[in-house]
Amino acid sequence: MEGYKYHVMLDITSKLMFCWNVNYSNKTVSIRVTCQLPPNYWFGVGFSDYGEVTDADFVVFWNDPVATHHLQDSYTDSHGVLHADHSRDYTLHKARTEDGLSILEYTRPFDTCDERDYLLDNGTTHIVYFVSKGTPASCVGKDVRDLHHGFQRVQLLKPDVHLPPLPADVWTFEITAPKVKIPGSETTYWWFITTLPILHHKHHIVRYEGVIQKENEDIVHHIEVFHCVGRKHVHPYSGPKVPEGKMDPASDLASCRNVIGAWAMGAEPIIYPEEAGSPIGGEGFSPFILLEVHYHNPHLRTGHVDSSGIRFYVSPTLRQYDMGIMELGLEYTDKMAIPPEQSRFLLSGYCIAECTQTAFPRDGINIFASQLHTHLTGKRVWTKHVRNGRELPEVNRDNHYSPHFQEVRVLRHVANILPGDALITECEDSTLSRSNVTYGGFSIREEMCVNYIHYYPKVDLEVCKSSISDNALQNFFYFMNRIEDIPISPDKGIKHNYGLIPWLPEHVSILNYAYQTSPISMQCNQSNGQRFPGTWEGVPLTKIEEPLLPEDRKCGI
Amino acid sequence: MEGYKYHVMLDITSKLMFCWNVNYSNKTVSIRVTCQLPPNYWFGVGFSDYGEVTDADFVVFWNDPVATHHLQDSYTDSHGVLHADHSRDYTLHKARTEDGLSILEYTRPFDTCDERDYLLDNGTTHIVYFVSKGTPASCVGKDVRDLHHGFQRVQLLKPDVHLPPLPADVWTFEITAPKVKIPGSETTYWWFITTLPILHHKHHIVRYEGVIQKENEDIVHHIEVFHCVGRKHVHPYSGPKVPEGKMDPASDLASCRNVIGAWAMGAEPIIYPEEAGSPIGGEGFSPFILLEVHYHNPHLRTGHVDSSGIRFYVSPTLRQYDMGIMELGLEYTDKMAIPPEQSRFLLSGYCIAECTQTAFPRDGINIFASQLHTHLTGKRVWTKHVRNGRELPEVNRDNHYSPHFQEVRVLRHVANILPGDALITECEDSTLSRSNVTYGGFSIREEMCVNYIHYYPKVDLEVCKSSISDNALQNFFYFMNRIEDIPISPDKGIKHNYGLIPWLPEHVSILNYAYQTSPISMQCNQSNGQRFPGTWEGVPLTKIEEPLLPEDRKCGI
C-alpha cells in the first residue's frame, strides 16, 4: 500500500486489495491491485454502475502455462461475457508476480472518452472483481457470472481538500462497539447505547475517523454515531437494531437521531474547516449516544468479535463558528408517492428562496460536507443551487448512489449559499421490482429523498424540505376521479386513493407533472420544530431559468 | 304531413320526406316516412352518430315482385353492410303504397334499450337514408355505401315548452335574401347587408322563425341575422362571405356579430318567454344588420333563386325584462391548444362563482335558449351547472354536435342560475385528421368552445369565459423543457412552443391534466369589454364535489 493514499479490501479470501491515488490536475487515477493467490489463478478488477458484473469495465490479469503475464483491457456485455476493449486507454506500469504476490499497476483518466470504459465521477463507485482458478490462453468469451465475483463501494474520486492542522490542545476519545460477536447472517445493524465523555464546558469536535478492527475490515460496512438530543437518561442496550414499532417506549431511541459522526467503508477522516467545529458538552447537553454498526457478512462467517467505531478529535478551544447539520429535500409524508414498476422516477424537494432569505445571515452559510440519504429505491441523488433563476454549480451529486453506502462526504468545493438562494434536492428512484406504490415515510419500505448538509455558521434552520401542497394533491385526485374515472374518496385518505390508481403510463406522467409543477408546502423549520414566520403553504416551487451547462468532456468527435 | 308537427326533406330527388311527433310523457317518437318513387325502388331511413351509413340504425322498406310490402328493423356494421336486428323495438302502424306514395309509419321509444338501436337525445340527430332501384328478396347483406345515400341533421327531440300567445299589438317584418342566385357549388355562405325597420322607440322581438322558400327547402341550410352594434353606416354588400383578412376595412363587418335571429334546417320558431323580449330600436340603435345564409348544394344544382330569411315578430309593448345573450366557454386564445391526432380531446371553459356573484341579480338569471358553438373539430358540447360544489341538471348538451348545424335551441327546462353558481362549458374535439396543433382563435381552422346563452333579465355580464392562467401555462412549458427535454424558448411565443412538442401520449395526458387542474384567467367582462372589478388572474377553477348521477335508462339487465 506504500505510495497509495487510499485502499479497500475487495475480497478477503483471495486477499484482493485495491489501492489508489487521485490526481485532479491531470484528472487521472493511479491504481494498484494486488492478489496473494498462486499463479494458476486469474482475476479481473473494474467498475460498473451498481456492482453488477454485466456491462462492466474490467482489467483482466492472468498467467499462461509458461508463466507469461497477460493483461487485457476488457468489458462484459449484458450477459456477463468478457470481450476485448481494443481502445487502450490505460497506462500500464507494472504487471508481474513478486514473492507470490500478483501486482498490477496502471493509471487511467477519469474520462477515457471510450464508451466501453466506466466514467469516473465524485459519487459512489462500485469496484467489481472476479477471481478464478486456471491459466487461460485468453479471457475473451468467459462468462464472469460463472466465476467467483463481488464488489465493494467506495468514493473513488475523494476530494483534494486542504486539511487544516490539528490544534495543539486536541485530545481524542473513541466510541466503539463493545466486543460484539458478529452474527453469522448477511446483514446486521448493531445498536449500542453509550455515553460521551462528560464535558462541563462546550468543546468542538474538529475531526473524526473510523477505527476499524483490522481483521474485520471487509465486514464492517458503515458506522454512525447519533446524539440523543435532550435525553437525561436512556436505557442501556447492546444488540441487533430494534425493528420499528418493537422499540421499548421507555428507551425510546427516536430522539437519538442527530448524527455527530459517520463512517463508511473506504471513508477518509472527516476534518472540519478551520473556522468551524461540531459543538459537544456544556450545560444541558445530553451525554447519551447511539452507536450503529452495519456488519455486511456475505460469507456468513461466525466467530468474529468486533470493537470498531469512531475516533473523535476534540478541543476545548472553540473555533469561530459552530457547524450545523441541516436537512434538505422532501418531507417524510405519504403525499409523496412513487408508482410501481418505474425504472427512474424523479422526486424533487425544495428549500426555497423565501426560507433562506428568512433564516440565513447576510454572508450566507458554507456547506463543506454532505450526506445524501434515501431508502431502498434511491438510484441517483443530487442538490442543485439556484440564485435568481440561475443555476450555480451543484452542491453534491451521486449518480451511482446506494442506500447501503451513505457516507458523509467532504465537498471538493465549499458551497456558499446566500440568503435568497434556493436548493433543490432531487432523487431518481427505481421501483421496477415493486408492484405497489412506495410512499414517503420513515419505514425502510417507505422512501426518503434528503441531503444532510454540514455547514457553518450554524443557523436556527434545521429542516428545509417540501412536499406537494395539499390543494395541488387534491387537484390530482380530482382529475383522476373526474377524467380517469378512478373511484377516489377524499375521506379515505391519501394512501387509499393513490392505491386505487392502476398506474398506466399516462397516470405516471401526470403524477410526475403534478410533482414537478405544483405549488408546494414548505417545512422551513427552526430547531424547536416550529416553522419560521412566513407563508409556506401553496407557494411556487423554484424554477431554473438558466440551467447549468453540461460539463465539456473534451472528447472530440 | 298532416298530424305531424315536424318535418324535414331528406332527399329532393326521391321526395323522401321525414315527419315526426315527440311524446315526452311516454318518451316515444312517432315517425312517418314518405317516398314518391315507383314501387320498384326500395329505401331505408334511420340514425347514426354523425351522418355516416356505417354503424347506423335503419328501418328498411321494399316491395318484392308480387308487390308485398316488406319492412325490416336493421343495422349496418362498420363496413356499411345491412343486418337484421332481431330485437324488434319499433311499433309499426303503416307500411303500404297509396296513390304511388310509399308510406311508412311507426313509433319507437327514445331509448329502446337495444344496443343496435340509436339512443335518441335532445342534441343533434343525424337522420340517414338510402334509396335504390330493385325489389330484393331480402335487404340483408346489401352494402349501403354502394347505394344512393345521405343524411340531414335535425334536433329530433324538440322541447315541449309552453308557447305564450302573441301580444295583440304584434307586427312582423322579414329579413330575407335579395333573390340570390344560388351558386352551383356545394357550400356557399351568402352575406347581405340590410337594415331593420327604423323604430324611434324601443320594441321587443317576441318571436322569430325561418321563412324558407319552398323549392329551396333542401338547400337552405342555416340562416343567421347579426346586428351591427353601434354602426352609423355600413357599406352595402350582397355576395359570398368575405374571407377573413380580405374584408374591406371601410365596411368592417366584425361589429356585425350580435345574433338577433338564427334558424337552421328543421328549426321551429323561437318564441321568447312571456317575461322577456329582445330589444331593438330606440335612440342610438344601429339599424344595420348582416344576413348570412348557408346554402348546402351537394348536387351542385344551378338556376335556383332564393329569398329565404327570418321573420321577426315585434311589439311596442315592452315586456318585463330585456333578454340578453351571454357568451360562456373558452377564451379565443392560443393558450388553448388541441394536440393533433386526438379522437376526443376535452376542453373546459369556466364561468366561476366569483363572477356570477359579482354580476348577477339576487334572483339570478333564467336561461331559456342556448346556441352551442365550435369550429370544425367539435364533436360534443355541453354546459354544466354547479352550486356550492353540487352539480345541478345540465343547461344544455349536444352529444352529436356538428359545427355545420348551430341552432339556437329553446331549452326544455329554463335554468335558473343564481349569483355564486358556476357554469362549466365543455367540448370534446376530434383532431384525428390533423397533423398539427389546433389553437384557440377566430379563424375557422382555429378552434372555439362556447355556448351563447339566451336569458333574462339582461345583465351587464356579456362574456364569462376562461383560459389557463399564464403562470400555469409557463409551468407546462417549463416541465416540457426541463423534464421532457423539448427546446422551449419563452421568448418565441406560445404557438412556437406548442409546435415543438412531439405529442407523444404522455404529452397529451399532461396537457389534459394542466388544462383540467390549473388555475385560470377569467374574462368576467362587462358589455363595454372591461372586466368587472375583482381578481380574475390565477384563480382556481370550479370543482364538482357532488356530480350529477347518470340518468337511469330503466333497461334492466
The 10s digit of each residue's pLDDT in A143-173 is 999 999 999 999 999 998 877 888 999 999 9
Angle at B423 between CA B421 and CA B425, to 5 degrees: 175
3-state secondary structure B48-65: ECCCCCCCCEEEEEEECC
- Is residue A76 within 8 Å of A106, Cβ to Cβ? no
B518, with CB counted inside 10 A (0-12, 13-18, 19+), is buried
The whole-number pLDDT of residue A135 equals 84
The owner of cell 408546502 is A521
Q: Which of B478, B506, B516 sits opposite A479 (nearest CB)?
A: B516
Catalytic residue among A126, A204, A373, A400: A373
Distances (CA, A) of A3 to A26, A30, A165, A342: 18, 10, 22, 45
The answer to whether A386 and A542 are in contact (CB under 8 A) is yes
Q: Quick check: A479 contacting B, CB < 8 Å? A: yes
Q: How far is CA A16 from CA A7, A12, A19, A136, in A?
A: 11, 7, 10, 20
Give chain B positions within 8 Å (CB) of A505: 505-506
Cell output for B97? 303504397
- What is the pLDDT, as a whole number, of residue B67? 65
Quick: pLDDT tens for A285-335: 999 999 999 998 888 889 999 999 999 999 999 999 999 999 999 999 999
Catalytic annotation present for B106 = no
Q: How far is CA B557 from the centre of its chain?
A: 34
State chain A's mean pLDDT as an integer: 92
Nearest chain A residue to B345 by CA: give it. A483
Q: How close A543 gets to chain B, by Cα (Å)?
A: 8
CA distance B434 to B436: 6
Q: Does the annotation mark B455 as catalytic?
A: no
User: Is residue A514 within 8 angstroms of chain B, CB to CB?
Assistant: yes
**Proportion of chain A above pLDDT 90, given as a percent:** 71
B14/chain A closest Cα distance in angstroms: 46
Chain B residues 24-53 within an 8 A CB cutoff of chain A: none
Residue B491, burial from CB neighbour count under 10 angstroms (0-12, 13-18, 19+):
exposed
Whether residue B147 has pLDDT greater than 70 = yes
Q: Is the pLDDT of residue A248 over 80?
A: no
Look-up of cell digits 330484393: B136
Q: Enumerate domains of chain A plus CATH numbers.
A: 6-154 (2.60.40.1210), 171-320 (2.60.120.310), 324-539 (2.60.120.230)
Instruction: Give CA B31 to chain center in angstroms.
Output: 23
Residue A249 has pLDDT above 60, yes or no: no
Angle at A529 between CA A528 and CA A535, to 5 degrees: 120
Q: B478 vs A506: CB contact, 8 Å cut-off?
A: no
By three-state DSSP, how is residue B546 classified? Answer: strand
Which of A346, A505, A510 faces B513 most closely, judged by CB atoms?
A510
**Closest-CA residue to A472 (of B536, B510, B518):** B518
CB B255, CB B231: distance < 8 Å: yes
How many CB atoms sit inside 10 A of residue B546's CB? 12
User: Nearest-CA residue of chain B relative to A507?
Assistant: B509
Confidence bin at B252 (pLDDT 50/70/90): low
The residue of A344, A483, A513, A515 whose CB has the most chain B CBs within 10 angstroms, and thus the best one to mutate to test that interface, is A513
Write the pLDDT tens digit of every residue in A457-467.
999 999 999 99
- CA end-to-end span of chain A: 38
Q: Does A478 touch chain B (CB under 8 A)?
A: yes
* Whole-angstrom distance, CA of residue A90 vs CA of residue A471: 56
Q: CB B517 to CB A478 under 8 A?
A: yes
B64 pLDDT above the threshold of 90: no
Counting every residue, how long is chain B?
Answer: 557
Chain B partners within 8 Å of A544 (Cβ): 482
Q: Of A472, A483, A517, which has the smallest distance from its Cβ to B516's Cβ? A: A483
Q: Three-class SS of residue B71? A: strand
Which of these ranges, A75-79, B40-44, B365-369, has the smallest mean pLDDT?
B40-44
Q: Which residue of B has its CA nearest to A347?
A: B483
Q: Out of A472, A478, A516, whose CB is closest to B543? A: A478
Question: A391: Cβ–Cβ under 8 A, 6 or more apart, which residues?
Answer: A384, A385, A544, A546, A547, A548
pLDDT at A238 over 80: yes
User: Does the pLDDT at position A269 exceed 70?
Assistant: yes
Rg (C-alpha) for chain B, rounded Å, is 25
**Going by C-beta distance under 8 Å and a sequence separation of 6 or more, which residues neighbour residue B335?**
B440, B467, B468, B470, B473, B494
Return the SS3 of B454: strand
Q: Do B237 and B274 form a contact (C-beta atoms < 8 A)?
A: no
**Among all residues of chain A, which has the CA nearest to that of B346?**
A483
pLDDT at B249 over 60: no
pLDDT in tens, A104-133: 999 999 999 988 899 999 999 999 999 999
Instruction: Give all strands of the β-sheet with B390-398 in edge-to-edge order.
Output: B345-351, B422-429, B378-387, B390-398
Q: Which of B482, B510, B544 minimises the CB distance to A509?
A: B510
Q: Could you tell me if A365 and A455 are in contact, meaning their C-beta atoms sit under 8 angstroms apart? A: yes
Longest dimension (CA), chain A: 78
The single-letter DSSP state of residue B527 is T
Mark which residues 245-274 of A lie under 8 Å from B by CB.
Answer: none
Q: Which residue on chain B is closest to A345 by alpha carbon?
A: B483
| Contact status, residue B61 vs residue B104, Cβ threshold 8 Å | yes
Q: Which of A466, A432, A435 is nearest to A449 (CA)?
A: A466
Distance from CA of B355 to the nearest CA of A (A): 22
Instruction: Please calculate the CA angle B276-B279-B280 and round it to the nearest 5 degrees.
Output: 150
